[in-house]
Amino acid sequence: MNFMNSLKYTALLLFVFVMAACGNEKPPEDSAAEETVEGTITVSAAASLVDALEEVTEHFNEEYPEVQVDFNFGGSGALMQQIVQGAPADLFFSANESHFEEVVEEGYIDEENTVDLLRNEIVLVVPEGSSEVSSFDDLKNADRIGIGNPESVPAGEYGMEAFENMDIMEEIESKFIFATDVRQVLNYVETENVDAGVVYHTDALTSDGTEVVDTAPEDSHSPVIYPLGTLNDTDNPEAQRAFYEFVQSEEAGEVFNEYGFIIE
């Protein structure tokens, strides 16, 4: 075999070897599989968010079917206390800035992992068909007024502010029936256990047995802001981040709007 033939033969062998090696390479893993997000997260959220968040989560699970979202709904003050006392939570969605800020100040949430997401309004509701109370000024005619405990329920705190600024507190404070959250206030009104109740506009929209008779002026109470944040201590950071970002998406925003929330 002359030199040129030998060189061609060597090149052919090299080509065959390279092709065989390429054929034995494993195909690249599916990039979608690498991005699969899974796990269980717990969201501590204000009771006024129940319906909206449950629907938002249905949309979220269409995109992230392997993530289970468990909710702990309640008054924001009570949820704040639970978190600082060690209750497990991956996200905190409060209906009150001061309760939320306390969790931040205690070091459970970093400021950069927070967002003021929603706004709401404070309204006065009465049992459907009732004519005894038609405005905040008419509360002097009521025997029982449902309101969230201001120590733990932001709607109750906002309501108290409004009563003070409307200069009607002294006339009505003996009539208060305190509730653990706004949904309980709404139930009191629906069952006519109270003559009127103070709830969020969004809660009133969910009820067939009550009607809104008045809205508290914006300048009568602090802004009703809903901040959201991710807790620093989490076992599922990817699932936590995915939910945090999805709740801020346009798709989620459309759901919140449907339930009467105002996007910040």
pLDDT value at position 30? 45
Q: Specify the length of the chain in residues.
A: 264
Q: Report the DSSP pairing between strands 122-127 and 196-200.
A: antiparallel
Task: Work out the number of other CB atoms within 10 angstroms of the CB of residue 191.
Answer: 10
Residue 11, pLDDT > 50, answer no
Residue 38, pLDDT > 80, answer yes
pLDDT value at position 264? 79
Q: What is the mean pLDDT of residues 30-51?
A: 82
Task: Please name each of the domains of the chain with its CATH number.
Answer: 38-119+224-263 (3.40.190.10), 122-220 (3.40.190.10)
| Maximum Cα–Cα distance across the chain | 116
pLDDT tens figures, 135-192: 999 999 999 999 999 998 999 999 999 999 999 999 999 999 999 999 999 999 999 9
pLDDT tens figures, 75-110: 999 999 999 999 999 999 999 999 999 999 999 999
Residue 115, pLDDT > 90, answer yes
Structure tokens at 33: 């599989």
The 10 Å CB-count burial string (b at 16+, else e) for 27-52 is: eeeeeeeeeebebebbbbbbbbbbbb
**Coil vs helix vs strand at 222:** coil
pLDDT band at 56 (very low <50, low <70, confident <90, very high): very high
pLDDT value at position 185? 96
Residue pair 42/231 in contact by the 8 Å Cβ criterion: no
Residue pair 196/56 in contact by the 8 Å Cβ criterion: no
Residue 26, pLDDT > 50, answer no
pLDDT band at 15 (very low <50, low <70, confident <90, very high): very low
pTM of the model: 0.78
Task: Work out the number of other CB atoms within 10 angstroms of the CB of residue 169.
Answer: 13
Tokens 């120590």 sit at which residue?
151
In whole angstroms, what is the distance from residue 124 CA to residue 126 CA? 7
Helices (H), 35-124: 50-63, 76-84, 97-105
pLDDT value at position 33? 39
Q: What is the mean pLDDT of residues 59-81?
A: 96
Residue 12, pLDDT > 50, answer no
Q: What is the mean pLDDT of the chain?
A: 89
pLDDT band at 125 (very low <50, low <70, confident <90, very high): very high
Q: Among 55, 114, 54, which Cα is nearest to 244's?
A: 114
pLDDT band at 13 (very low <50, low <70, confident <90, very high): very low
